[in-house]
Amino acid sequence: MSMSTRKNPAILLVTTAAALTLVLSGCSGNDTTDPAAEPPGSENILGSVETKYGTVDVPAPADGEELRVVALGWSDGEVALSLGVKPVAILDWQSHGEENNGVGSWIADDFGDTEVELIERGDESLNYEQIQSLDPDVILNVRAAFDDQAYERLSEIAPTIQATEGTPDYAVNWRDHTRTIAQGLGKVEEGEAQVAELDEKIADIKDEHPQFDGVELVSGSKFGDAYGASLPGDARFDLYGDLGFVLDAEIAELPSPDGFFAAVSVEQVEAMDSDIAVLTTIGYPIEDLENDALINSLDVVKDGRAIIVDPESDIMAGTTAGTVPSLSIALDQVVPELEDVVAKLENN
């Protein structure tokens, strides 16, 4: 495929050494240094962040210009928006749609009248021509898969921020997700304030609900004829882990090629029979789960210790998005239901 290329952004991060102009004075003959000249490497850096691929510096835009951010990773655009930076384009992983500018309804109004280009979800490849045409100052690809070739190509377009070394694909936790993007966008204080606010809310809920501590939980899903469960690193489990719940031991033993999601075969569905369960569907109506004979055969369901969550609800959409604003809303709605199912567990 033929495609145009741009100057390597790494080169753009280092300015040419400012020339020291020698001014010949007819009277004195003294050398004079231009006071406006800058030493090498003194360009204005908006943000700097450590990633798997090393340190990424993001140059500040020219005076009066807005930072042009293209957000490719899962919820990367929503995190940027929550920090006060409006992306020019977002890959709409959760199909929030044009009416929400590719982010959750809980934060979509923060765009105001700003128009956002949505990057369609297609196959595993990225449309590099489309991304390049957006003329980004920085590309966010944090909650995503690591792909050396994709990173190299994206970095030819603009400084590209990914997660840190050792992070499984798509499994960056909400704290690191917020901080990584905040550092790159020069919004460190705002990012730390967000993390602290949600941490305080979680700590308060945990203190008020000691009965949650140590209770085994499955955050499971059904998609077609298949099943699965979220693992640590996925906000669909991490939110409950933060409240004191622990991953069900049988689920923890299942293979997890993705690192954040365990496949559960039809023969293994009994592994989802935990102390309590939070169950939903992926890409299918909730009725498929409610009418599932295998799911209904589990004691956790028969005893009323399962929370059946519509995939369109703020609980599911919020934990799937995994951002500070979305998780805060999900907490408000799911905690009363957790209280009910844990009470049933204690009364059995």
Which pTM value belongs to this model? 0.84
pLDDT on residue 125: 79
Helices 314-321, 324-347: inter-axial angle, 10-degree rounding: 120
Q: Which amino acid is at 184?
A: G
- Residue 21 CA to residue 34 CA, distance in Å, equals 6
d(CA 180, CA 141): 11
Gap between the Cα atoms of 316 and 298, Å rounded = 21
Predicted local distance difference test score (pLDDT) of residue 257:
66
Q: CA of 161: how far to CAs of 91, 175, 187, 299, in Å?
A: 15, 16, 14, 45
How many Å apart are CA 316 and CA 343, to the nearest integer? 22
In this structure, are residues 184 and 161 in contact, taking their beta carbons and an 8 Å threshold? yes
Domain 45-196: CATH architecture, name and number where available: 3-Layer(aba) Sandwich (3.40)
User: Residue 63's pLDDT is what?
Assistant: 86
> What is the per-residue pLDDT for 274?
97
- Please give the Cα distance from 283 to 199 (Å, whole number): 31
Domain range annotation of the chain: 45-196, 209-347
Residues 281, 189: Cα–Cα separation, whole Å? 37
Element (H, E) at 319: helix 314-321
Question: CB of 118 within 8 A of CB of 98?
Answer: yes
Domains 45-196 and 209-347 share a fold: yes
Show the tokens assigned to 182. Answer: 């905040």
Pairing assessment for the beta strands 117-119 and 54-59 based on DSSP bridges: unpaired
- Cβ–Cβ contacts within 10 Å for residue 241, how many? 19
CB 59 within 8 A of CB 45: yes
Nearest to 73 by CA among 140, 147, 124, 154: 140
What's phi and psi for 251, nearest 5 deg? -65, -40
pLDDT value for 238: 94
DSSP letters for 15-67? PPPPP------TTT------TT---TT-PPEEEEEEETTEEEEEEPPPTT---
pLDDT tens for the chain, residues 1 to 348: 433 333 333 333 333 333 323 232 333 334 433 434 444 444 699 999 999 999 999 999 988 899 999 999 999 999 999 999 999 999 999 999 999 999 999 999 999 999 899 987 666 678 899 999 999 999 999 999 999 999 999 999 999 999 999 998 998 999 999 999 999 999 999 999 999 999 999 999 999 999 999 999 999 999 998 999 999 889 999 999 999 999 999 999 998 766 789 999 999 999 999 999 999 999 999 999 999 999 999 999 999 999 999 999 999 999 999 999 999 999 999 999 999 999 999 998
User: What was the pLDDT predicted at 124?
Assistant: 64
The domain covering 209-347 belongs, at the CATH homologous superfamily level, to Nitrogenase molybdenum iron protein domain (3.40.50.1980)
What's the pLDDT score for residue 336? Answer: 98
Phi, psi of 26 (to 5 degrees): -65, -20
pLDDT tens digits, 76-97: 999 999 999 999 999 999 999 9
Assign 3 to helix, strand or coil. coil
Q: Whose CA is closest to 330, among 341, 311, 314? A: 314
Cα 152 to Cα 23: distance, rounded to the nearest angstrom: 44
Q: Which two tokens stand for residue 225?
A: 């004829």
